[in-house]
Amino acid sequence: RPVKFGGVPIAILFILTIATAVTFHSVLHIPPVFGMLTGLAYLKFYGYFLNQKSKSWNHGSEYPPGANQDPYDFDVFSKIAHAEWDTLFFFYGVIMAVGGLGFLGYLGISSEYIYGEFGATNANIMVGVLSALIDNIPVMYAILTMNPDMPHVQWLLVTLTAGVGGSLLSIGSAAGVALMGQARGKYTFFSHLRWTPVIALGYAASIWVHLLINS
């Protein structure tokens, strides 16, 4: 299926949004959320341009090559409105629970046991598997809250395992949960399971390559 008119600039704006969030945090020392909101402003400005362009096409102007000749009515907020509240409450609840466990001291005890008994490498591999069952965002938040004493290489490893390991199941990443809500019936928990063996192979290979490079 051909990409609709405006699709490529929106993809570029997505990359620019990530760059803005990183720049805000590393250069200006502003929370990354403001960079993401600035990216939303990029998209809204370009969405206004698309809507105006669509109106001009429908008043007799020549359509550009590959353009969809249906009215655009591009509204990103209408897409955001389709997000399930259950999903948002899930993330809020899990992060609140992790914060409570950290406040009560249970995360510190867990950190001493997991990283003390199994070692940093094995513990970080377990974190990746655990992130597939819970979600990689709260799992990584828990690790940052525990703040185990480990070298820089192991911090890179846990970032890798939490990110890749979370994709083993559709519920292991925010993107998967959101996509299940948006594409109901097309992308489900069980349809994702077909790819789990391939993802697991990539997960093991990524860990092996990381350890090989940093050995």
Asked whether residue 56 falls in the same domain as residue 102, the answer is no
Q: Say if 2 falls within a structural domain.
A: no
Query: Which range of residues forms the domain containing residue 178?
Result: 85-213
Q: Name the DSSP class of 126.
A: H
Asked whether residue 139 falls in the same domain as residue 92, the answer is yes
Asked whether residue 72 falls in the same domain as residue 168, the answer is no
Asked whether residue 12 falls in the same domain as residue 46, the answer is yes
Asked whether residue 175 falls in the same domain as residue 189, the answer is yes
Q: Say if 193 falls within a structural domain.
A: yes
The SS3 call for residue 66 is coil
In Å, what is the CA distance from 103 to each residue of 49, 100, 107, 109, 148? Answer: 48, 5, 8, 12, 16
At 191, the amino acid letter reads: S
Q: Say if 1 falls within a structural domain.
A: no
Asked whether residue 126 falls in the same domain as residue 205, the answer is yes
pLDDT tens digit at each of 215 positions of the chain: 677 778 889 999 999 999 999 999 889 888 888 999 999 899 889 988 888 877 766 555 555 555 555 556 677 777 777 666 766 777 777 778 777 877 887 777 877 788 888 888 999 999 888 888 877 777 887 788 778 888 999 999 999 998 888 889 888 877 777 777 777 778 888 888 899 999 999 999 999 999 999 87
Asked whether residue 65 falls in the same domain as residue 107, the answer is no
Residue that is last in its domain, among 53, 80, 107? 80
For tokens 């519920």, the residue is 171
Asked whether residue 208 falls in the same domain as residue 165, the answer is yes
Q: Name the DSSP class of 59.
A: T
Asked whether residue 97 falls in the same domain as residue 186, the answer is yes
Asked whether residue 47 falls in the same domain as residue 108, the answer is no
Q: Say if 36 falls within a structural domain.
A: yes
Asked whether residue 114 falls in the same domain as residue 205, the answer is yes
How many independent structural domains does the chain possess?
Answer: 2
Strands annotated E in the chain: none
